[in-house]
Structure 1
């Protein structure tokens, strides 16, 4: 298993809504902004747009939140923008995920450390999946793996993030389980976001797509794609027809956390406000329903728990990346 989500599931938030009122009143953001470090249509974009909607609808923020898409470098352009140009901006939050911690662990964000930004929270996690076009010759994950083992370059697998990202790691883990000795030979095609990666699949530029289940859900329901393996420990309750990689002989579970960070140099009052704001949002039944609709499981970490969680995530990714040869 790639990550051990010991607390995955509905986790009670320590502070009640009433308890956060005082802290929320100490700082009020002006012209708040959320940066999605990708083009529209991917997981980071979903984080920002969902957060912007519910914080405003719940009255946690008085001004509507601007969502800015800033793709490039697997999130590195946005990370550099925040750390170098807006390090003291109290009104800025940024979408983050497993890919963010993976890039820090692997040195893809050059010289970056966890403390270069302030990680605010996780509020959900979702499982990765491998998809093909609806009319693809591949009806099972096993069929595709057999072709990859015979000729690694015969199957192009798209992902909405850079080489070495979680989208890249997931099919490498499956390939390793299938018996591939050098998983770095896997043909991974990097796109600047989940939406572009899906376009690559549907246009026939690649044979498969590695991503998060929520990014694929609409295309699955429209009949454009077939999911040949979900990287979950068991079949999803709401989608029982989708087979897991595990039941096909590949013991791989890939869960991607969803959350936010903000500038490290922001004031303590601003950091407290945004932490409590995300906690308030995470408790809202409407927000929880939105996560469920997107096939995202509740997964909450705030404050010290968040800092410890990210540190553990970075350590896990670094260890795994060394094992499969992504970093030395």
Structure 2
């Protein structure tokens, strides 16, 4: 009888949790006609991952399935230009961005458009930099790669999504700087997004890739790529728990945290902005969203609405200070 009672309580608790989750989703269903997430690069990179988090994580909270639209060009420049011209008040669309986008804003890479020309609505989670080589590379460890760079910095092509001064360039710059090498002397190859850079690495057009952990989930344990290190302060959870950190390998200061999130046009109505923000806040409370973040290689850094807007503006200002110290801007 006691066992039956426990079973009944467990069923009731499970039902209550399901009903709560369902009610939460229903109460935050957005009145958005055509929900859309803009990934400002070609398929396969970090922006793609960011949009997939929103697409899956808000599936129960949107009026219809969210469309993912790819808009490559200038690592986000085309997208931010569009959302400051013809789609500045579009209530249906969010645009994926990363810390690299914020760095571009801080250093003027988007021309006249900067952090105050959009409205930041929510996060998808946090990511970390990673140092990657081809599976058949002669560089079996990070020390192998760094020793080769110390011997001849210009002999190894390091590629990633974004030009000199981008966040992916910064990852490589931090690595070589940790060995007192000049980042400006790196042989750096720029691609329009992580997907293209990974393809180049697989094709041996470059010898190392300074990418993001979230882009590499499907490659862990495979026979195509080798992750030499992650640029996180501590080891990550599975499936990256066997990958050492740059810090534990002795490369002090070579860490890079990547914020992933979404912005909207600066002239969107408060109603549309709050609808998206509230939907994300509700999604953050669900186990489903946490699982989606984990599956995509992200850690839970959950903020939405005005709190997030203020946080991002502070982040960009800090990046602007760092960029000046690095000589990237005057």
Q: TM-score, normalised by structure 2?
A: 0.88
In structure 2, runs of 5+ residues without a counterpart are: 1-20
Instruction: Give 1:139's aligned residue.
Output: 140
Instruction: Give 1:279's aligned residue.
Output: 281
1:52 to 50, 55, 80: 55
Q: 1:271 to 1:21 in 2, by over 3 A?
A: farther
In structure 1, runs of 5+ residues without a counterpart are: 1-15
**Deviation (angstroms), 1:127:** 1.2
Where 2:303 maps in the other structure, the secondary structure is: strand
* 1:208 aligns to 2:208 (yes or no): yes
Structure 1: distance between partners of 2:324 and 2:23? 46
Structure 1: distance between partners of 2:288 and 2:218? 20
Q: 1:151 to 1:322 in 2, by over 3 A?
A: farther
* 8 Å CA contact retained: 1:132, 1:227: yes
- Which runs of structure 2 are paired with 1:2-17 in the superposition (5 Å)? none
Which structure would you say has the larger Rg? 2
Structure 2: distance between partners of 1:305 and 1:241? 35
**Deviation (angstroms), 1:125:** 0.3
Where 1:302 maps in the other structure, the secondary structure is: coil
**Deviation (angstroms), 1:113:** 2.2
* 8 Å CA contact retained: 2:53, 2:296: no
- Which runs of structure 2 are paired with 1:1-328 in the superposition (5 Å)? 24=28, 28-56=31-59, 58=60, 60-180=61-181, 182-238=182-238, 239-251=240-252, 252-328=254-330
Where 1:309 maps in the other structure, the secondary structure is: helix
Structure 2: distance between partners of 1:73 and 1:158? 16
Number of residue pairs the alignment of both structures matches:
308
**Deviation (angstroms), 1:21:** 6.9
Q: Considering Cα pairs closer than 8 Å and 6+ residues apart, tell me whether 1 or 2 has the greater RCO.
A: 1
* 8 Å CA contact retained: 1:73, 1:162: no
* 8 Å CA contact retained: 2:50, 2:124: no
* 8 Å CA contact retained: 1:20, 1:276: no
**Deviation (angstroms), 1:262:** 0.6
Where 1:188 maps in the other structure, the secondary structure is: strand
Q: TM-score, normalised by structure 1?
A: 0.88
Structure 1: distance between partners of 2:22 and 2:328? 44
Which aligned segments of 4 or more residues in structure 1 are displaced greater than 4 angstroms? 16-22
CA offsets, 1:59-118, max 9 Å, x none? x11122211100110111111111111001111111111111111001000022212110
Q: 1:294 to 1:31 in 2, by over 3 A?
A: closer
Q: Which has the larger displacement, 219-228 or 253-262? A: 219-228
Q: 1:131 to 1:94 in 2, by over 3 A?
A: same
* 8 Å CA contact retained: 2:55, 2:66: yes
Structure 2: distance between partners of 1:153 and 1:71? 29
Structure 2: distance between partners of 1:150 and 1:319? 32
Structure 1: distance between partners of 2:108 and 2:65? 35
Kindly report the root-mean-square deviation, in angstroms, between the aligned alpha carbons of the 2 structures. Answer: 1.9
Structure 1: distance between partners of 2:102 and 2:145? 29
